[in-house]
Amino acid sequence: MVKTRRARSLTKRESRNFWLYTSPWIIGFVAFTAFPFLSSFILSFMQWDVLSPPKFVGIDNYVQLSQDKTYFWKDLNNTLYYALIGVPLTIILGLAVSVLLSKPIRGINFYRIVFYLPAVFGGVAVLKLWTYLLSPGTGDGMNPGLINAMLGWFGIQGPGWSQDPHWAKPAVLLVGLWGVGGSMMIWLPALASVPKDLLEAGEIDGANRFQRFWRITVPLITPAIFFQLTMGIIGSFQIFMEPVIMPGSSKTWTDSLMVVLFDNAFRFYKMGYASAIAWVIFIMIMLVTLVNLYFSRRWVYYESK
């Protein structure tokens, strides 16, 4: 069957309209995502200080990166620490807080607001505040931070936090955990979606409170756990603000991969080298996420399947 001229012009017009209407997104995507993405890939094989023309150096940047024990490897180490310790802590604490906040008690909305507020505040000012709270010192002529002062009431000698090589990283994590209430947004609906009749059936069968939580609630909220785990890992690989605002006495104690990327790009103007770091971070996040997805099949339970 031959299409009439009119039908043809209609499809033509339709396809033109399609491009016209999607153009804002397409132009935005190409200019602000695809182009920088590709440029940085090309740049990672070049040496470029912004002022002189870029020079092709092959895989030099990547080789240099693999040998940079003082900064890159150390910062990778710090970043893994933030991911391996910070993410599980965030999930466990976030879930624990949310379970408490899912109970139908009087004034629950007030408590929810209180726990959610830290996620609304945040940013540099709050980090500065934490720097004061976590001041070292324990009295005798010193003005200790509030945290150490409170530990002092219980006869505990507080650590030196950012000024102590062993405590600088935990200090950064602690500040991150303060906003843990923000994950309530994900946990509360997940907890609410656990069918009441299942929990009641468990109770009749003689399961105690802990067993009911562990055997019924947790399996049913695995999609939310998986989501939080994936986002948490991606987020912890990109941790930047905390180590910048709350560095240890030696920056190398706390610096993350993002900090070393930023320094190379915008302090030393080694754009090629910084791009190589960016790609290494990108590939690492990609791999971890894929591994995560692969194993998720074994433990994440979707009711619809």
Partner 1 sequence: MLLAMLLVTAMMMTAGCGGSADTGGGADSGGEPGKTAEVSFSYWGGDFDKARMEKIYEEFKKVHPEIKVNLIQIPSDGYEQKQLATMAAGNPYDVVQLAESFYSYASKGTLEDLTPYLERDGIDTSDYYDAAIRAYSYQDKVMAMPMRMGTMILLYNKNLFDQHGLEYPSDEWTWDDFYAAAKTITDPKNSIFGLGGVGSWWASYQTWVYSYGGSLLSEDRTQLTLDSPEAKKAIQTIQDMIWKDNIAPQASQLLQGVDMWTSGKVGMIIDGPWHILSSQANIKDFEWDIAPVPKGAKEASPLFSNAFAIPKLSKNKEAAWEVVKFWTGETGQKILAAEHGEIPPLKSVAESDAYLNIGDNPPANFKSQLTSAQRAFAPQATVKWDEINRAADTYLGQIFNEQRSVDDALAEMKIEVDRLLEEAKQLEQ
Q: Which of 23, 33, 77, 208 binds partner 1 (CB under 8 A)?
A: 33
Q: Which of 118, 119, 151, 163 binds partner 1 (CB under 8 A)?
A: 163
What residues contact 230, with CB distance under 8 A and at least 6 apart?
289, 292, 293
- In degrees, rounded to 5, the angle at the alpha carbon of residue 279 between the alpha carbons of residues 275 and 280 is 115
Backbone phi, then psi, for 56, in 5-degree steps?
-75, 130
Q: Kindly state the smallest distance separating residue 142's Cβ from partner 1, in Å.
A: 5
Q: Does 184 bind partner 1 (CB under 8 A)?
A: no
Near partner 1 by CB under 8 A, which window of 4-12, 32-40, 101-109, 112-120?
A: 32-40
Q: Does 77 bind partner 1 (CB under 8 A)?
A: no
Give SS3 for 47. strand
Helix then strand then coil, % of the chain, to nearest 5 = 75, 0, 25
Q: Does 11 bind partner 1 (CB under 8 A)?
A: no
Nearer of residues 21 and 32 to partner 1, judged by Cβ: 32
Q: How far is CA 275 from the centre of its chain?
A: 21
Q: Does 152 bind partner 1 (CB under 8 A)?
A: no
Q: Does 70 bind partner 1 (CB under 8 A)?
A: yes
Q: Which helix (H) or strand (E) holds 62?
A: helix 60-67
What residues contact 275, with CB distance under 8 A and at least 6 apart?
40, 41, 43, 44, 61
Count of C-beta atoms within a 10 Å radius of residue 118: 15
Give the footprint of partner 1 on residues 224-243 (CB under 8 A).
238, 240
Q: Does 249 bind partner 1 (CB under 8 A)?
A: yes
- C-alpha–C-alpha distance, residues 127 and 278, integer Å: 25
Say how many residues touch partner 1, by CB under 8 A.
Answer: 52
Do residues 256 and 243 touch, judged by C-beta distance below 8 A? yes
Joined tokens for residue 182 = 């923000």
Give the footprint of partner 1 on residues 260-299 (CB under 8 A).
261-263, 265-269, 271, 274-275, 278, 281-282
Give the footprint of partner 1 on residues 126-145 (CB under 8 A).
131-132, 135-137, 140-143, 145
- In degrees, rounded to 5, the angle at the alpha carbon of residue 142 between the alpha carbons of residues 138 and 144 is 50
Q: Kindly state the smallest distance separating residue 102's Cβ from partner 1, in Å.
A: 32
Nearer of residues 175 and 263 to partner 1, judged by Cβ: 263
Residues that bind partner 1 (CB under 8 A): 32-33, 35-37, 39-40, 43, 48-54, 70-71, 131-132, 135-137, 140-143, 145, 160, 163-165, 238, 240, 249-252, 258, 261-263, 265-269, 271, 274-275, 278, 281-282
